[in-house]
Amino acid sequence: MKFETGIKMLIVSSYPPRECGIATFTNDIANAVNIVFGDTLPVEVCALQDREQEFQYPDEVSYVLPVDSLVHYRLVAEKINERNDIGLVCIQHEFGLFKGEYGDHILSFILALNKPIVTVFHTVLPTPNEKRKKVVYAITDLSDKVVVLTKNSKEVLAAYYNCQSSKIMVIPHGNHTVLWEQKKILKNKYGFKDKIVLSTFGLISENKGIETVLHALPEIVAHHPEVIYLIIGKTHPEILKREGEKYRHTLQSIVKDKHLDNNVIFINEYLKLQQLLEFLTLSEIYLFSSKDPNQTVSGTFAYAMSSGCAVISTPIPHAVESLGNGNGILLKNFDNPEEFQKSICYLIENEEQRITMGKNAFSMARATNWENIAIQYRLLFDLLTNREDDLRFNFPPIRLDHIKKLTTDFGILQFSKFSQPDPESGYTLDDNARALINIVMYNKAFPANENLKLAFTYLNFIEGIQRNDGWFDNYKDYNGKLTKQNGEVNLEDANGRALWSLGTVISHRQCLPLEMICRAVKCWDKAIKKIDNFKSPRAIAYALKGLYLYHETYKDEEIKNHIEKLADELLRHYNINSAEDWCWYEDYMTYANNVLPEAMMYSYLVTKKSKYKKIAIITFDFLLSHYFMKGQLKVISNRGWFKKQNERKFYGEQPIEVATTIIALDFFYELTQNTKYKDQLKLAFIWFLGNNHLKQIMYNPENGASYDGLEDTHININQGAESTLCFFKARLIMEKYA
């Protein structure tokens, strides 16, 4: 069956305001799918509760299933069957959610449903008795697909419940994106500046094993009185109903008996997400002390890793699969205070190792942030509803956050460690020229004084790095001093890019202050004297873009002559290097390849010489033929250039190449109105949104930055100026296609 856009996914689960881990999980999925896909994949919820419970649910909850009424399972299923706009039912399964023996009432619901069904098993127990085995087998047999959250669960489901491995998908527990540099800020905010903060969170119950940590603390505190242990979370509602605060009182008694009152803080609240993430982010060490070896997965564990904590955990399957390669400490035993004591002391006393573990966990967790998990659920939805060719993404908002953070009073810094600007990387003309182009374009669409302030900062940098003879250096350190790199590398490309940025300013004279235009023209007049120095094809191409913009403003005949001379030089490169099966300007493709045909087309617009237009289209189409494959953009790898006679390498894709592709496609579409360019442009942009070989987003939803590289098995999550500016420019262009 082929469904149209707008067909919905219905999730059957507990749901907020009910306080429950599965409810939070489902809410996170629903929110993430909405953020990533919007109305191209609407989500509704069928909320699970007892008849005695009353909750005020949000609008996405369209059904309530009283789990203690067997007849309602069938009645709700029949109502869902009447809906033509529900394409898939996704059941979140935990044994405690459903009534009956081992929750077998859910079978009445599944048997009555006439929709594709995915069941997500949050707990998969080994060595089941016959009744549990029959219930789980029936659920898996009646489901079209089964999702588990760990590889171990897949193995158990296949080995103990006879579930076909081909039916099982592993989609990990999701987590939230936080900014690494917030750690120090948040410690100060909450008054923990000089403390070593340990934390545990979640709905409190005896299975949490928190007393194990409390028994380990006295020895730790004796040597490290600065330790604070945060126990975050309310008592589990079901435990509270059965036995009240018995377990919490036990923990409080241990704290008192062991004189830990100054070191242990109980936060007896069901915290809102933002505050919870703040507590986790400020924590140096997260302690996962569960005593239940059959606890398959833990959302608290996932959140702690994504917050950059060094995690110490008992060996539940989730931890066994996640902790390794220096991103935490996996304990050998359950309920062993001595193991916790030794591990905690080790991390307190080895700060560098502790920070490294936190950073490794933080990096690893980006693959499973909720936006990436939403993509996995969308792909599963499309598979079961025959919509695999209709994958559509929401555009994220345009954000200046990271650009502003990277920008000092002197200019924009070159690199970041994660999202934290790295002053040691210094400044480049390349990045400040890009930043000036971007902010001028952004200010035209969204005028604001803060934009002009940024633009003046970048223009100041360009002025300050120009030599008296008009040539530009490229590199300055954090103190504003020229570095030796300027004498070691070819500066042509940077000089070409400087002309492009100055041309951009001059061409926007109607919406920029006169002072800025005058200063840009002064720089231009000095720089244009060096135009004959350009030999590099890319430097020529960047310069041609700037020359075009200047000519459009002033219609200067001398500039037109420069354009024709440089275009002929590009054409000469093409004639030397091209062949029947190689329509290109060089005998290899490197970075920012799209700027070459783009510059040829700009040259045509000024000179009206058809030879430039002809080669522009031939070379652009040749380039695109190597970039778009099987519904995805695959740009040239930075691991090795694509050489004329050599086999092409893949992976190692960078945002600069994606962004220049988008810039060129936008230009060629506007000029030719050829719809293939428009289609390819949209396909290119969703590379950032997850339509790439890793099916992961390439941008940071918290700050609007772009990650630095798409590798074969992971993403480089540093967020430097080049990557972020390229994504920003691409997103700005896409605004007219939204």
Helix extents (H) in 578-646: 595-607, 610-627
Q: Kindly tell me if the per-residue pLDDT of 138 is higher than 60.
A: yes
Res. 640 pLDDT band, cuts 50 70 90: low
The letter for the amino acid at 133 is K
pLDDT score, position 649: 72
Q: Kindly tell me if the per-residue pLDDT of 590 is higher than 90.
A: no
Q: How far apart are CA 217 and CA 169, in angstroms?
A: 40
Q: How far apart are CA 511 and CA 162, in angstroms?
A: 68
CB 453 within 8 A of CB 513: no
CB 416 within 8 A of CB 401: no
Q: How far apart are CA 61 and CA 55, in angstroms?
A: 11
Q: Kindly tell me if the per-residue pLDDT of 460 is higher than 80.
A: yes
Q: How far apart are CA 737 and CA 222, in angstroms?
A: 62
pLDDT digits (tens, 9 = 90+) for 72-129: 999 999 999 999 999 999 999 999 899 999 999 999 999 999 999 999 999 999 999 9
From 573, 581, 582, 576, select the one nearest 541 (Cα to Cα). 573
- Give pTM, 2 decimals: 0.93
pLDDT digits (tens, 9 = 90+) for 434-455: 999 999 999 999 999 999 999 9
DSSP 646: S
Q: Kindly tell me if the per-residue pLDDT of 361 is higher than 70.
A: yes
Q: How far apart are CA 442 and CA 406, in angstroms?
A: 17
Q: How, if at all, do strands 642-643 and 588-589 pair?
A: antiparallel
Return all residues near 336 (Cβ < 8 A) that are at least 6 apart: 212
Return all residues near 274 (Cβ < 8 A) that are at least 6 apart: none
Compute the mean pLDDT over every residue in the chain, rounded to the nearest whole number. 94
From 114, 116, 136, select the one nearest 125 (Cα to Cα). 136
569 or 298: which leads in pLDDT:
569
pLDDT digits (tens, 9 = 90+) for 113-123: 999 999 999 99
Return all residues near 385 (Cβ < 8 A) that are at least 6 apart: 1, 3, 7, 87, 88, 116
Q: Kindly tell me if the per-residue pLDDT of 2 is higher than 70.
A: no
Res. 388 pLDDT band, cuts 50 70 90: low
pLDDT digits (tens, 9 = 90+) for 11-52: 999 999 999 899 999 999 999 999 999 989 999 999 999 999
Q: Kindly tell me if the per-residue pLDDT of 4 is higher than 60.
A: no
Q: How, if at all, do strands 709-710 and 8-13 pair?
A: unpaired
DSSP 146: E
Return all residues near 349 (Cβ < 8 A) that are at least 6 apart: none
From 571, 640, 627, select the one nearest 594 (Cα to Cα). 627
Q: How, if at all, do strands 145-148 and 117-121 pair?
A: parallel
pLDDT score, position 1: 30
CB 369 within 8 A of CB 177: yes
Q: Which domains does the chain have, with CATH numbers?
A: 8-170 (3.40.50.2000), 182-368 (3.40.50.2000), 399-425+630-738 (no CATH), 441-528 (no CATH), 534-623 (no CATH)
Q: What are the respective helix, strand and coil percentages of the chain, to the nearest 5?
A: 55, 15, 35
From 338, 262, 378, 352, select the one nearest 690 (Cα to Cα). 378
pLDDT digits (tens, 9 = 90+) for 222-272: 999 999 999 999 998 888 888 999 999 999 999 999 999 999 999 999 888
Res. 669 pLDDT band, cuts 50 70 90: very high
Share of the chain above pLDDT 90, in %: 88
pLDDT score, position 94: 93
432 phi-psi bin (left φ>0, alpha ψ -120 to 50, beta other): alpha
From 516, 494, 493, select the one nearest 439 (Cα to Cα). 516
Q: How far apart are CA 139 and CA 663, in angstroms?
A: 50
CB 496 within 8 A of CB 543: yes
Q: How far apart are CA 319 and CA 687, in angstroms?
A: 31
Q: What is the mean pLDDT of residues 193-201?
A: 95
Q: What is the mean pLDDT of residues 613-620?
A: 97
pLDDT digits (tens, 9 = 90+) for 365-385: 999 999 999 999 999 999 999
